[in-house]
Structure 1
Amino acid sequence: MQDQHSATELPSVRRQKILLILERDGKVMASELSQHFAVSEDTIRRDLSELHSAGLVQRVHGGALPRPKDTGKDFLTRVGETDEVKVHLAQLAARHVRDGQIVMFDSGSTTLQIARSLPSTISITAITTSPLTAITLAEYPGIKVILAGGQLNLATMSVSGHETVRLLQGIKADVLFTGVCAIHPEVGISSLHFDEVPVKQALFDSASQVIAVTTADKLGAVEPYIVVPCSRLHTLITERHVASGDIDDYRKLGIEVVQAHA
């Protein structure tokens, strides 16, 4: 990038130009934008934070990516649709479940798909913070379902609050399948929703093995609220073709990385 801009131009103008560069290049880095606009990297980071807060970009380590487009569909509509990638990842995850285990299911469309992918004859005790996942698990004759109580978040269709955390703290599970809003090898797992953080932390603390299942677009991403460092993960299941982030960075942290073949 060449320095073609004045450091005195209005922040609003600079941010509009950042969006134009992002649309053209598909990714922006704070260091390059700093040189391009002749301002400090701290200034650029503030710009990116403002754009992120406005829902215009997705923050990643060192820069930003385009924000995933909103389809305008509500949560119930989205989880009712078939996503072939998530179905395949969920099938890989379901293979980690064994009869007799105590298994925790975090909220999210991917973990709901894992519940749908279990063998019909499986015999486990399942704990979840998602009413939709609880209903799905209840269809299995061999699964005992425990649904954590609390206040329902309509955006995520999951429960949260003191009662939720207290119940989870009283359980020692064999496996946790966690939903991932964003995961970065240095920053860790982060969430867009503040009230999710203590619930997710309690889930992590209560499981002997933690398996994260995520599509490639969540790798290298950062959301405002940090849940746990990546070192708390045992297994990461994701797509074969990773568009963002270096998958080896997760392996270097001691995480078993399982990538789908298709």
Structure 2
Amino acid sequence: MSLSTRQKQILQELQQSQGVLTSGHLAQHLDVSVQTIRKDMNELNDLGLLKRVHGGVCLPTPNDNLSFSNRELQNSAQKQQIAQLLVNHLPEQTSIFLGIGTTPKYVAQALLDHSGLTVITNNLNAALVLSHNPNISLHLAGGAVRHSDQDTVGEITTDFYRQFNIKIGVFGVGGLNAKGELLDFTPEEAALNRAIISQSEQCWLVADHTKYGRYAPVVSATLNDIDRLFVDKPTVALKKLCQAKGVEIVSADDRSHEQKE
């Protein structure tokens, strides 16, 4: 969904205020009716771009677990960049797991012209994208559908993953803390990532820079389980952490990773 000029102005006001703004204040500032502002606020709330709170609206916190469609709007350019970096490193005629999340969907889009690929995924959006290429061998895991996340989860899904022996496991996380722990929001998400790790010869983590320091309650793995981290712009702290854990960082800042292996 594209935002109107007024909706963009509302978000800009919130970013500048870094607090709670009332519908009355926004209506007066933007010279429209309160009813009009409330309609905009409801639409932005449904998209996850702001949050309704007592007394008005505010920006969502970094730790809020937003829906797939909401997360897809955030840092989309960086996620596309990460996806292309990963695909540049992916060999032809290989097999991959493609985990849940918005960055794996962008990976799927970048993979459309990759030849001889076998993909196992529970990411409904990634599967839909890849289904347009009949030369990709695509396996979609069944299970309970999470409507907000647009994927499948549960023991059925995890058992499906355990049937495969895959060259490269590609997945994202809810967060990454300073101890090098990979964090997810639910035990089901964590179980899927652990299944990917156990059934893959190599594990490649995709995460934009906002994931470092972001809180999520479930520990799914550690950086010690990862071979490569694909990120848009790693901080100094993240670089040091990956070096200590023996994880290779691939980022747009590193020109040595431009050519496909």
Worse overlay, 187-196 or 89-98? 187-196
User: 1: distance between equivalents of 2:135 and 2:111?
Assistant: 11
1:157 Cα offset (Å): 1.5
Instruction: Report the alpha carbon displacement of residue 81 of structure 1 after superposing the two structures with TM.
Output: 8.0
- AA partner of residue 142 (structure 2): G
**TM-superposed deviation, 1:170:** 1.1
C-alpha spacing 1:182/1:225, structure 2 compared with 1 (3 Å): same
Per the alignment, residue 30 of structure 1 pairs with none
The equivalent residue for 2:96 is 103
Distance 2:134 2:156 in 1: 28
Contact 2:105 2:126 (C-alpha < 8 Å) held by counterparts:
yes
SS at match of 1:189: strand
Residue 190 of structure 1 deviates from its aligned partner by 0.8
Which blocks of at least 5 consecutive residues in structure 1 are unaligned? 1-22, 25-54, 56-65
> What does 1:93-242 align with in structure 2 at a 5 Å threshold?
93-118=86-111, 120-240=113-233, 242=235
Q: Could you tell me which residue of structure 2 aligns to residue 5 of structure 1?
A: none
Which of 237, 244, 247 lines up with 1:252 in the alignment? 244
Runs of 4+ in 1 over 4 A off after TM superposition: none
Distance 1:253 1:82, change over 3 A: closer
% identical aligned pairs: 21
For residue 67 of structure 1, what is the aligned residue in structure 2?
A: 61
What TM-score does the superposition give when structure 1 sets the normalisation length? 0.68
Q: Which amino acid aligns with 2:249?
A: V
- 1:233 and 1:174 map into 2 onto residues whose CA distance is 13
Q: Distance in 2 between matches of 1:241 and 1:163?
A: 35
1:104 shift after superposition: 0.6
| 2: CA distance, partners of 1:95 / 1:180 | 21
SS at structure 1 position matched to 2:108:
helix
Q: Summarize the Cα distance change of 1:193–1:115 in structure 2 as closer, same or farther, 3 Å threshold.
A: same
Q: Which residue of 1 aligns with 2:72?
A: 79
Cα distance in 2 between the residues matched to 1:157 and 1:125: 21
Deviates more, 1:197-206 or 1:102-111: 197-206
Which whole-Å CA distance do the structure 2 matches of 1:121 and 1:192 have between them?
Answer: 31
SS of 1:156's partner is coil
Paired amino acid for 1:118? L
Amino acid at match of 2:62: P
* Matching residue's letter, 1:251: Q
Answering whether residue 82 of structure 2 is matched by residue 89 of structure 1, we say yes
- Indicate conservation of the 8 Å contact 1:98/1:122, yes or no: no
Change (3 A) 1:139 1:81: farther
Aligned equivalents of 1:254, 1:237: Cα separation in 2: 14
Residues 220 and 122 of structure 1: CA distance in aligned 2, closer, same or farther (over 3 Å): same
Aligned with 1:251: secondary structure?
helix
Equivalent positions of 1:36-75 (< 5 A) are 67-68=61-62, 74-75=67-68
Cα contact 2:63–2:216 (8 A) shared by 1: no
> Post-superposition shift, 1:165?
1.3
Cα offset, 1:210, TM superposition: 0.6
Does the 8 Å contact 1:185/1:230 carry over to 2? no
Distance in 1 (alpha carbons) for counterparts of 2:63 and 2:224? 30
Amino acid at match of 1:163: I
**Which sections of structure 2, spanning at least 5 residues, go unmatched?**
1-17, 20-50, 52-59, 255-261
Q: What secondary structure, in the 3-state scheme, does the structure 2 residue paired with 1:198 have?
A: helix
